Amino acid sequence: MPGTGHGPVDGIGIGLALAISLGLAGVALLALLPVAPRDAFITVLLTALLVSVPFLLDHFITRKMADAGPYARAGIGGGLWCLLFLLVLMLGESLKYARWRRLWQPLILVITLGAWGLVVSQGRLDALALVREFQARPGPFMEALSAHLLLAIGSVLVSLLIGFLLAVSGLHRPRWRSLVLNTVSFLQTIPSLALFGLLIAPLSLLVDAVPALKAFGISGIGWAPAFLALVAYSLLPMVRNTHVALTGVASDVLDAAQAMGMNGWQRFVQVRLPLAMPVVLEGIRITTIQAIGLTAVAALVGAGGFGTFIFQGLGQAAMDLVMLGALPTIALALIADTVFGGLTRWLAPPGQEPTR
């Protein structure tokens, strides 16, 4: 049945709508003004806006859906989803460059997740269509989560091992390095869906030739072609960043290590690799985010993951089902970006932390 649209003033009242508008205007104004504690003010405002959203949704449900019946559901409009996404990105950028981020990051995370968890755990958002979709399929959701994580993390780990070996092997061999970089760059140009499809026939022939592979779940469709394609796509950022990191270590530092009596292996393990680690982690961050996104497409070849909900929702024109798969995918990417970004800044030498 067609739904009834409600704007912010109609949905939550003019007072709350005005307060939210003033908060957003305050963030924009502070971002433009050269105020000394600007990042702190922006962070507090962004956190307050994100914390207020679940309570505003609860207020809307109480106000507009009290007499709507047990089968009525409320869908969140695209504008609010975009606003939430932008607020999360802005908060992450604000914390990334703040000097006090090590103290505020866990505190803000606890406050924000605690507010959402409090409202959701009390069942005050059960009337949302997204919550209804999750309650209808909790088992498949957890299966999709495990499949998504296994494919993404497994492909990143394998590509890290292969990419590191390829980068190290080409450290002093320019021709081999050029061949490796050209090959992985070519793999990156193949469309993801096309690569998934191209792997179906060879894997099917391989399983027919070696039937024992079926015991490991390998077939023309499923996790095997998705895993191979994800590893292929992950090689370019992994190889390139590792190579740049290893060759970017100053020669003076390596000469000093050699003068101290270190052999080649000691210089690599104790000097070159620790100094290169922040850039290597940056490559892992890029690769992980890319793998999490591409794993959603792998559902088209039967690999599972959150892409299953996305394509089911698209086929049924059910946008809340699409969001049930899209939102966890975005959340996983943001978590990976935050974790590896924090590790990169933590391992960066003093004075070389990222600045604006």
Q: Output DSSP code: residue 83.
A: H
pLDDT of residue 100: 56
> Count of CB atoms within 10 A of residue 28's CB?
11
Check pLDDT > 90 for residue 157.
Answer: yes
What is the distance between the alpha carbons of residues 126 and 74, in angstroms, rounded to a whole number? Answer: 9
Give every CB contact of residue 317 below 8 A, 6+ residues apart in sequence. Answer: none
Residue 342 pLDDT > 80: no
Q: Is the pLDDT score of 153 beyond 90? A: yes
Q: What's the confidence (pLDDT) of residue 319?
A: 85
pLDDT at 158: 93
Give the tens place of pLDDT for each residue, 56-77. 988 888 888 767 777 788 888 8
Mean pLDDT calculated for residue range 292-297 = 91
Contact between residue 126 and residue 135 where contact means Cβ atoms under 8 Å apart: yes
Alpha helices by DSSP H, listed for the chain, are 8-12, 14-32, 38-64, 78-96, 101-121, 129-136, 138-169, 174-189, 192-198, 200-209, 223-247, 251-259, 264-267, 273-297, 307-316, 319-347
Residues near 101 by Cβ (< 8 Å), separated by ≥ 6? Answer: 95
Query: Is pLDDT above 90 for 148?
Result: yes
Q: What is the pLDDT of residue 292?
A: 93
Q: Find the length of the chain.
A: 356
3-class state of residue 128 by DSSP? strand
Residue 74 carries which DSSP code?
B
Chain-wide mean pLDDT for the chain?
Answer: 84
Band the pLDDT of 169: cuts 50, 70, 90: confident
Most confident segment among 194-198, 204-208, 329-333, 341-345 = 329-333
Per the CB < 8 A criterion, the answer to whether 12 and 60 are in contact is yes
Put simply, whether the predicted model's pTM sits higher than 0.85 gets the answer no
352 confidence band (pLDDT: 50, 70, 90): low
State yes or no: pLDDT of 79 exceeds 60: yes
pLDDT of residue 356: 47
Q: Which pLDDT belongs to residue 349? A: 63
Confidence (pLDDT) at 24: 87
**What is the model's pLDDT at position 355?**
47
Tell me the per-residue pLDDT of 177-205, one tens digit each, with 9 for 90 and over.
889 888 888 888 888 888 888 888 888 88
Q: Mean pLDDT across the stretch 83-112?
A: 76
Q: Is the pLDDT of residue 82 over 50?
A: yes
pLDDT digits 0-9 by tens, 216-269: 777 778 888 889 999 998 898 899 888 888 888 888 888 888 888 888 788 888
Q: Residue type at 185? A: S
Token pair, residue 269, equals 């393990």
- pLDDT tops 90 at residue 81: no
Residue 149 has pLDDT above 90, yes or no: yes
Which pLDDT belongs to residue 248? 83
Top-tier CATH class for 138-347:
mainly alpha
Alpha-carbon span 206 to 284, nearest angstrom: 31
Distance of CA 234 to the CA centre of its chain: 14
Cα–Cα–Cα angle for 93, 94, 95, rounded to 5 degrees:
90
All structural domains of the chain with their residue ranges: 8-136, 138-347
Q: What is the pLDDT of residues 36-57, one digit of tens each?
A: 567 778 888 888 999 999 999 8
CA quadruple 253, 164, 304, 220: dihedral, nearest 10 = 160
Q: In sequence order, what are the residues at sequence separation of 6 or more whose Cβ sits closer than 8 angstroms to the Cβ of residue 218?
A: 203, 206, 207, 224
Residues in CB range of 271: below 8 A, 6 or more apart: 249, 253, 254, 257, 262
Residue-level pLDDT at 274: 84
DSSP 126: T
User: Any idea what the Cα angle at residue 341 is, between residues 299 and 36, rounded to 5°?
Assistant: 130
pLDDT of residue 99: 59
